[in-house]
Amino acid sequence: MSDAKGQDRNARIGLSRPSARLELKPKTVESGTVRQSFSHGRSKQVAVEVKRRRVVRRGVGESQPETAAETRAETAPAAPERSERTEPPAPARRERVVLKTLTEEEKAARAKALAEAKKAEEEARRRAEEAARRAREEAERRRAEEEAAARRKAEEEARRKAEEEARRKAEEMAKRLLAEEEAKRRAEEEARRKAEEEAERRAKAAEAAAKAVRPEREIEDEDEEIEREAKRAKGRPKVEKKAAPKRLEIRDLKKPLRVILSEDEEEERGRSLAAIRRQRERERMKQRQMGGPQPVVREVVIPEAITVQELAARMAVRGAEVVKVLMKNGIMATLNQTIDADTAELVVAEFGHIPKRVSEADVEEGLEGRPDRPEELRPRPPVVTVMGHVDHGKTSLLDALRHTDVAAHEAGGITQHIGAYRVDIGSGMPVTFIDTPGHEAFTAMRARGASVTDIVVLVVAADDGVMPQTVEAIRHAQAAGVPIIVAINKIDKPEADPERVKTELLNHGVVLEEYGGEVMAVPVSAVKRIGLEQLIEAIQLQAEILDLRANPNREAHGTIIEAKLDRGRGPVATVLVQNGTLRVGDIVVAGAHWGRVRALVDDRGQLVESAGPSTPVEILGLDGVPEAGDKLVVVESEKRAREIAEYRQRKKREQEQRLATAPRSSLEEMFAKIREGELKRLPVVVKADVHGSLEAIRAGLEKLTTGEVGVQILHAAVGAITESDVTLAKASGALVIGFNVRANAPARELAKRDGVEIRYYSIIYELLDDVKKMLEGMLAPEAREQILGHAEIREVFNIPKVGKVAGCMVTDGVIRRSARVRLLRDGVVIFEGNIGSLKRFKEDVREVREGYECGIAIEGYQDIRQGDVIEAFEVQEVARTLTA
C-alpha cells in the first residue's frame, strides 16, 4: 500500500518510474521527507515538495526554472491514489536562432534613437528641476509675502497703539492745561481784586502826600540849589550876632559838657548839606511806607562787560548810589571801572529793576538768514572732490576732463593746493571738481574738501593699489557721509591690475556694485583719455539720485576753499558758493575779515559779474587773508560786517591769549628742559603762499618735535618775506623759510647784512626733510662701546717712584695706549680708567697685539694682582636720527 502511494506521489511530482524513464528537464519539483516531533512524545514523518515556476523566453522555446520557489509542507497523511494519472506535457521543440548582422543605417537609427531618448531624458530631468526650482521660489515668495504681511500688520498695530497712546496723553495734557489755566485765571482775578482794594485803601494817603512828592529830577535840582547856596554862603562875610544865653533845662544836666557845646555851635553854624539830604531821604522813605507812588521799574540791558557809570545811566540813578551798593557787596569800584555781567545783574536786581542779559555773540544772530522754502529751491550742479594717494593721477584726470595741463605746472609733479574747477561736457548739468593734495602732510586739506562736497571720486592707480592716503580719503568720505565713486586710473599700463584694486577696496569697507554693494567703479586712463565720459555719466547719475537743490535768489553763502596774499591784488580767497548768488559789490564776512567784493574771477581766469550755487570763484576786496574753511556770508551793511569781524577778531585774540597763558604741564616741562639745556629747539619763521599750505607746514613741523629737539615756530603767515620777518629772525637766531614765496629787495639786503639764512622751497616734503636733517644734527650723538682686546696679568712689578706695573700677555685683540681700560677680577669690574703707560721691553709703544707681552700701568690705581684681566675698549660717537 505504501509502495503504491509512493509510486503515485512520484508520478504526481514528475519523478521517473522504474519501468519507464520519463524525465522533465529541468525539474520543476523537488521532494523530500521531514520528521516532525510533537510535545507529547510522538513523531510523524511528512513529505515536503518544492515547486519552481517555469519561465519561457520568447524566441528560444526553452523554459528555465526561477530560483525563487514556493514551499509547501504537508502535515496530513498522503491522499489515496488516483485512478487516472495525468501525463506531463511534452517539452517544447527548440527552435534554431539565427543572429542577423545590423546594417549601418540600422546602427545609425539605433544610435539616433538612443541619443533622442537620452536627450528626452535630460530634457525631462531639466524640466523637473526647473519645476522644482519654481516651486521652491514660489514657496519662498509666498513665505516672504506672508512674513511681510505679518510685519506690516504688526507695525500697523504698533502704530495704532502709539497713536492711541499719544492721543490719550494729549487729551490728558489738554485737560491738565485747561485746569491749570482755570486755576491761574482764578488766582489772577483774586490778586486783581485784592490789588484794587489795596489801591483804594491807599488812595487817600496818596492824595495827602502827592503835593509833597516830587520827581527825582526836581530833587536833584534842589540838591544842586542847596550846594550853590552853601557856596554863596561861604563867600559872604560873616555877620556877628550876639546870641542870647542858652537856658539849661533839667534834661541837659545829664549830658556831657562837650555835647552841650557842640549843639550850641551847630545852632550857630546852621544845618549841614548832608543833614538836609538825610532828612529828605527819610521823608521819601516815609512816603513810600505810607503808600505813596511806587518807583519806576525798568528793563536794564546788561552786556558781558559794562562800566559803573553806564549801568547807573541805564537805571536812571546816580553813580554814587551804584558805587554804594557795590561797596555793600564787598566790591570796591569807581565810576569808570568795568564790572562783569553777573555783578551788574545783582546791582540791577537790588535796585528793583528787571535785568536783561545780552551777549556779544548776538551780533551773529540771523546771519544765516531765513530757511529756504521748498518752492524756492532749484536744481544745482554737484560738487565733486577728487581724492586719493599722491601720484595716482588726480590732477591729470582733471586735466583730461578740462583739456588743461595743471599737473605740469605743479612743483615736483604733486598738488600742494586745493583747486576748484567747473567742467561742462555739453550734456546734463556741469560738474564742479575740487582737487585735493594726496601728500600725507595735507590731511587738513583733504578733510576740508570732503566736508564741502556732495560726491567723492576716489582715484586709485591700477598698478599701485590701495595706499595709506587712499585709506585716509575713504575715512574722510565716510565721516562726511558722502557717496563714493571709484576711478581706477592708469589702466593703460601693462602692469595694471584692476581686480586687485577692487579686492583691496573690500578690505576697507568699499563694496563695489559688481560685488553686491552700492559703490560704482569706473576704469579710466587720464593719459589715453579712456572712460572719461563714463565717469561723468556716473557722477551725473549719482547727482540725480541725491537730488541736489539750492535757492539762487537769495544772499550768498559759501566756504573759503583756499586763501592767499597776492602782491598785486591783495588778499585773494577761493570761494565755493553753496547757496544764493554772489555778486560784485556785495558786502561779505569771511571768518574774522570783511570787505566789499571788487571782482569775481572764475576757474578759467575770466571776470564774471555773479556766481551761483556750486560755482567756485576767486574774490578780491577783503581786508585780510581769511583761514581756509571759514564760512563766507553776505550781509546788508558795512556796519554789521565790521561789528561781526571785530567781534570774531576779539574772540580769536582772547582764545590765543588763553592758550598762551593756560597752565599746561607738558609745556612747562618743555620750557624747563629748554632752560636746563635738555631740550634743543630750532626757531623758524615760516611764510607761505596760501593758508592751506601754511597749515600743512605747521602740522608737519610739529610732528618732528621729540623729547630732545623741537621746532619753535616764531611767526607763520601768508605773503612775501619782509624786513620785519628778517628782523625777528635776527633777534632770535631763527631760520626763515619761504614756501612758494620770495623775499623783497630790502629784506634780501637786510638778511645779507645781518647774516640771516633764508631758504626757499616749492615742494613740502623737501622742506620737511631738510628741517628733519637740521634737528638730527642737533641731537646728541649716541655713545657706542667697542671692545679692543684683553690682557692677562702674569706678574706685578713694584717700581719706585712709578708704582705698580702689570706684566701682561695680550690674549686677544689689541691693547692701545689711547684706549680706556677696565680691571676685571674674577669676572667683576673693579676699576675703570685710562692707561698710564704702555711699554714693550723698555720702549713706549702705541699698541700691543695678540700674543705679545707688555707692561701696563693704570693711571690712578695701584691695587692690581696677578691673575687679573685688563679689558681695553673705545667709545665711539654715532650720529642719531629722528625715528618716524
Residues 6 or more apart whose Cβ sits within 8 Å of residue 807: 793, 794, 795, 796, 797, 853, 854, 855
- Measured in residues, the chain has a length of 884
pLDDT tens digits, 18-75: 444 555 455 555 667 777 777 666 777 877 776 666 655 554 444 444 444 444 444 4
Q: Give CA angle at 832 (831, 834), nearest 5°.
A: 125
pLDDT at position 440 is 46
Helix 764-778 to helix 691-703 angle (10° resolution) is 30
pLDDT band at 863 (very low <50, low <70, confident <90, very high): confident
State how far the Cα of 481 lies from the Cα of 456, in Å rounded to an integer.
10
pLDDT at position 869 is 92
89 to 19, 22, 24, 69: CA distances (angstroms): 19, 11, 9, 21
Q: How far is CA 722 from the centre of its chain?
A: 38
Mean pLDDT of the 634-659 span: 83
pLDDT tens digits, 776-807: 777 777 778 888 999 999 998 888 877 889 99
| pLDDT greater at residue 276 or residue 468 | 468
Q: Put residue 554 in one of left, alpha, beta given phi > 0 → left and psi -120 to 50 → alpha.
A: beta
Reading the block at residue 64, the C-alpha cell is 528555465
pLDDT at position 244 is 44
State how far the Cα of 871 lies from the Cα of 786, in Å rounded to an integer.
11
Is 764 within 8 Å of 441 (Cβ atoms)?
yes
Max avg pLDDT among 246-255, 511-520, 583-592: 583-592
Mean pLDDT of the 466-485 span: 81
* DSSP character string of 826-858: TTEEEEEEEEEEEEETTEE-SEEETT-EEEEEE
| pLDDT greater at residue 692 or residue 164 | 164
Looking at the DSSP assignment, which residues form a beta bridge with residue 385? Answer: 434, 456
Of the given ranges (428-432, 568-572, 855-859), which has the lowest mean pLDDT? Answer: 428-432
Is 454 within 8 Å of 443 (Cβ atoms)?
no
Does the pTM exceed 0.75? no
Residue 846 has pLDDT above 50, yes or no: yes
Mean pLDDT of the 820-844 span: 89
pLDDT tens digits, 91-141: 555 555 556 677 888 888 888 898 999 889 999 999 999 999 999 999 998
Is 583 within 8 Å of 554 (Cβ atoms)?
no
pLDDT tens digits, 723-754: 878 887 887 778 899 988 888 888 888 888 88
pLDDT tens digits, 336-387: 888 888 888 888 888 888 888 877 666 677 777 778 888 888 888 888 888 8
